[in-house]
Amino acid sequence: MSEILIYSDNDGTALELVSAGKEFAEELGATVSAALLGDGAAGKADDYFSYGADKLYVSEHPALGDFYVGTFAAALQQIVESGDVEFLLIGSTKRGKELAGRVAQKLNAGAITDANAMRVRDGNLEADRYSYGGNTMASQVVTTPKKVISVMPKTFELGPSEAKQGEVVNVDLDLEDPPVKVVERRDKAGDEVNLEEAEVLICVGRGVQSQEDLAMIEELAGLLGAEIGCTKTPASDWEWFSEERMVGLSGKKCKPSLYISVGISGQIQHTVGIVDSKIIVTINKDENAPMFNFTDYGIVGDYADVVPELNQKLKSL
Amino acid sequence: MDVIVCMKQIPDLQQIRIKDREPILDNVPLVWGDLDKNAIEEASKIKEAVEDVKVTVVALGSDKIEQGILEPLAMGADEAVLLTDPAFAGSDSMGTAKVLAKAIEKTGSYDLVILGEGSTDNYSGVVASALAELLNLPMISYVRELEVQDGKVKAVRNMEESFEVMEADLPALVTVAQEINEPRLPKFMAIRKAGAKPRHEWGPDDLGLAADEVGQNALSVETLSNLAPEQDRKNIILKGNLAEQIDALVDALTKEGVLGR
Ligand SMILES: Cc1cc2nc3c(=O)[nH]c(=O)nc-3n(C[C@H](O)[C@H](O)[C@H](O)COP(=O)(O)OP(=O)(O)OC[C@H]3O[C@@H](n4cnc5c(N)ncnc54)[C@H](O)[C@@H]3O)c2cc1C
């Protein structure tokens, strides 16, 4: 019987995949297993069983202390090849995504990364992912005997859990010390925002040139009960916001009732994160900005004029 | 020190039009991906900072690269390897990695291989990982700061919860994030001089690959469909002076029922 093997460096994502994997396994006549790797791995077994894993491969090998892509790829290769694993599903976190190509190469397998939907099709798993920068959605299947797919976090919901036991395989892995060392880790300031759930979302872009101007945006957000998100530059380059607030292809996918873009040109890598909004409002001083193509109601103007005026009006209501 | 930069050309994403949900690629010019430009920019910076660096661009794609290659050469590359043989056309990520690996081995020497953290069109990140495996290189992905010194590479990479500072001995492979640098715009004179820089064109035979090992003949992923999601917007630009525009906006949003309170 073929096996679907799940791994993610993020246990929450892994459990989502175990839940989904269980349903796929039923359709495919397969079983679901998961790999628990690194310090403290063994202690997580109950959780994984309770969401539906039939079998767990566990290793706390010292080489798996800090995540290094090559070492984790070698570990997964050995687990896959020791059993009957046909599908390796990896959580598409940053580590998971870099892992997918590396382990696929070790397995002579094809790989699909950043899948955002998946279904069974003709005995295979079909995955959807964005293509052409987000202009289109490609539906793909891996055609090699072993198949690697990395799946975006939150693609699937956690299924029901029930106390259950299964088979634990303590794998004896042959691993070398990682050739890349983590010499320091600088934690990012935690930002517990959940933009995916926001009913009203305002995003700021590179058109907002001064951090002081965020005050008027925050005022607007307060008046609308909105969360604030951003395009790539304000998060990655200017560090005005944590990347938890970046919206788009490599950020969050949001579906608010009302989305307002402020100083955003509307490049596809951003708009892909907001196309599911009910109503889209755009404030941009360039009437030719592509953002207006995605817009229901647009104002051509300088946000520094428009936003304060809008705030005044909302306050007067 | 030999630095290799892998680059690919993609259709200019802003110029792709959608008709009946199909992407229309006719007449859309090919451009280098943004992240590929970050990669060549970083190589050029290393060349400026460290002595005796040679930068080679390895580019797989259509014969349009012949013209496009002037740009990375003008940005600082010393040499280019063009992999434009029609047999390579339609390669998927694993196939691309295989061809790049053979070409990089054929260059004879590589201390540092740099790629974008993903291609700008598909952003799948598979090629770099597969390439690191094929060349058996240590890999550091998502790099936003890079330092090369004394046979070592030190990099700061941008992860979800932290910035990780990582170190490896050369040779190594890194992938760069967009925020690592601001790619230069090559000057006219540099572009003219770039035409004289050495170029190699290698096909499957030169790389010891059989025709059935490359391109469309060696796909590991099949694309069943590739369509644009449906998009239906009102596209109303509000008219009048600012006060009138704001009134109209608040009116419209109230009628849409999205101004909750
Ligand atoms: C692989 C990859 C992944 C990416 N992922 C993402 C992602 O997830 N999210 C994302 O956002 N980006 C992403 N990007 C970046 C993306 O391609 C664009 O660069 C980015 O979205 C552009 O941001 P922007 O609209 O804020 O800036 P710009 O494109 O610079 O636009 C600024 C806009 O502000 C307007 N403006 C300027 N001044 C004013 C003013 N005073 N008042 C009103 N308007 C003004 C201008 O007219 C312009 O339209 C990604 C890129 C790559 C290559």
Q: pLDDT under 70 in chain A at which residues? A: none
Do both B35 and B141 map to the same domain?
yes
> Are the C-beta atoms of A22 and A28 separated by less than 8 Å?
no
The domain spanning residue B14 has which CATH number? 3.40.50.620
Structural domains counted in chain B: 2
- Is the ipTM above a cut-off of 0.90? yes
**pLDDT at position B229:** 81
How many Å apart are CA B242 and CA B113, to the nearest integer? 53
B161, part of any domain: yes
Q: Which atom of ligand 1 is nearest the CA belonging to A206?
A: 26
Do both A14 and A156 map to the same domain?
yes
Do both B204 and B243 map to the same domain?
no
To test the ligand 1 pocket, which listed residue (A114, A216, A260, A264) has its Cβ within 8 A of the most ligand atoms? A264
pLDDT tens per residue, range B210-249: 989 999 999 999 999 999 887 789 999 999 999 999 999 9
Q: How far is CA B96 from CA B60, B218, B219, in A?
A: 8, 10, 10
Contact map slice: A 44-63 vs B, CB within 8 A: none
Q: Which residue of B has its CA nearest to A257?
A: B258
Partners of residue B220 in chain A, C-beta under 8 Å: 104, 109-111, 142-144
Residues contacting A252, CB < 8 A, separation 6+: A195, A196, A229, A244, A245, A246, A273
**pLDDT at position B74:** 97
Q: Is A304 on the interface with B (CB under 8 A)?
A: no
Q: Which of A161, A164, A142 is nearest to A151 (CA)?
A: A142
The model's pTM? 0.91
The domain spanning residue A258 has which CATH number? 3.40.50.1220
B249, part of any domain: yes
B131, part of any domain: yes
Question: Which H or E run contains A87?
Answer: strand A85-91
Do both B32 and B90 map to the same domain?
yes
Do both B25 and B134 map to the same domain?
yes
Do both A28 and A157 map to the same domain?
yes
Residues contacting A222, CB < 8 A, separation 6+: none
**A104–B122: do the CB atoms touch at under 8 Å?**
no
Residues contacting A307, CB < 8 A, separation 6+: A216, A217, A220, A262, A283
Residues contacting A269, CB < 8 A, separation 6+: A133, A134, A232, A248, A249, A250, B13
Ligand 1 centroid to A266 CA: how many Å? 6
Identify the residue with better confidence: B7 or A317: B7
B56, part of any domain: yes
Structural domains counted in chain A: 2
**pLDDT at position B17:** 86
Quick one: tokens of B177? 């994030």
Do both A205 and A110 map to the same domain?
no
**pLDDT at position A16:** 97
A185, part of any domain: no
pLDDT tens per residue, range B115-150: 999 998 899 999 999 999 999 999 999 999 999 999
pLDDT tens per residue, range B177-194: 999 999 999 999 999 999
**A299–B245: do the CB atoms touch at under 8 Å?**
yes
**A111–B228: do the CB atoms touch at under 8 Å?**
no
Q: Which residue of A has its CA nearest to B259?
A: A224
Ligand 1 pocket: which residues have CB below 6 Å? A 205-207, 231-233, 246-251, 263-265, 267, 269-270, 283-286, 289, 302-304; B 34-35, 118, 120, 123, 178
Smallest Cα distance from B154 to chain A, Å:
9
Q: Which domain holds residue B240?
A: 231-261
Do both A24 and A151 map to the same domain?
yes
Residues contacting A28, CB < 8 A, separation 6+: A2, A4, A120, A123, A125
Q: Which domain holds residue A64?
A: 3-170
Do both B133 and B249 map to the same domain?
no
**pLDDT at position B232:** 85
How many Å apart are CA A120 and CA B61, to the nearest integer? 33
Q: How many inter-chain contacts (A to B, CB under 8 Å) are there?
A: 258
Of B21-25, B91-95, B166-170, which gets the smallest average pLDDT?
Answer: B21-25
Quick one: tokens of A119? 């279904």
